[in-house]
Homo-oligomer: A and B are copies of this chain.
Amino acid sequence: MTIDTSKSTAILLIHCPDQQGLLALVTEFINTNNGNILYLDQHVDREEKLFYMRVEWDLANFNIPKNKIADYFATLIGQKNQMTFELHFSEEKPRMAIFVSKMSHCLFDLLARYTSGEWNVEIPVIISNHPDMADVARRFDIEYHVFPVTKDNKEELEAQEIALMEKHKIDFIVLARYMQIISDEFITHFPNRIINIHHSFLPAFVGAKPYHAAYKRGVKIIGATSHYVTTELDAGPIIKQEVAHVSHKDMVDDLIAKGRDLEKIVLSKAVNKHIERKILVYNNRTVVFS
């Protein structure tokens, strides 16, 4: 279900060790205080003995003021149950930055969804290591900054990028085919808040030209994976994956073209889930609520 932006709602994302009665505790907290639950989904991982929950409720008649909900919830329920939780409000539009290099396919799809009002998000700034996409940014009236990052200047330029993120109060970053490895230092500023997209293959190929490798190997399926960026390269929590069938008729160029379509679809689906506050991360895995 999409977030109903016509209402003022609160969204609570929780995870903690599983035990009896957790769900009842949380729903009672909301019901008792006159909150009308609009959406509830929970998951218990029986193997890891963990409890995950997402609940969204209407604040119209809720007894606890918005700015005190987190405090009350932590005191009354969270702490004694070792809960880690996030609280969001539908009225607070998340602010997103896009990092891009020279390829436009993901960028266009993100901006089209943004411009058409499909997403409850603000995109104040686009960052690139190349000038090529400036024209696309201009078409959508969004600030575009070029930081020509190299090994040597990376520390300095990333510091400037972080300052720019802070100036624009950026909540999360989307790497829309950004062909630059981000430093661990930068990543730790945005834990589980940088979304990346990369191609995936069955079997996997390492190295510089994966589509060429996939062609050589004669694969029948290609894929794309969207994940949060962690300091281990391309090994962060997976958000979304999709595949497409290919055949011997597909030359390297065809694989790349089909990969491009996959990348933009998968990245936009992952961003959508992030904007709707439907992703919980724990133990390098995601729970993605529907």
Contact = CB atoms under 8 A, between A and B. Distances in A.
A225 B248 contact: no
A202 B243 CA distance: 10
Given A47-B251, A249-B290, A243 B221 contact: yes
For this chain, the copies found in one complex come to 4
A143 interface: no
A245 B115 CA distance: 27
Counting chain A residues whose Cβ lies within 8 A of the other chain, the interface size class is 35 or more
Interface string A225-236: 100000000100
Interface of A: 1-2, 20-21, 23-24, 27-28, 31, 36-40, 42-47, 52, 104-105, 108-109, 112, 115-116, 118, 136, 139-140, 200-204, 215-221, 223, 225, 234, 237-243, 245, 247-254, 257, 261, 265, 284-288, 290
B40 A20 contact: no
Contacts of A249: 1, 43, 290
B204 A248 contact: no
A136 to B, nearest CB: 8
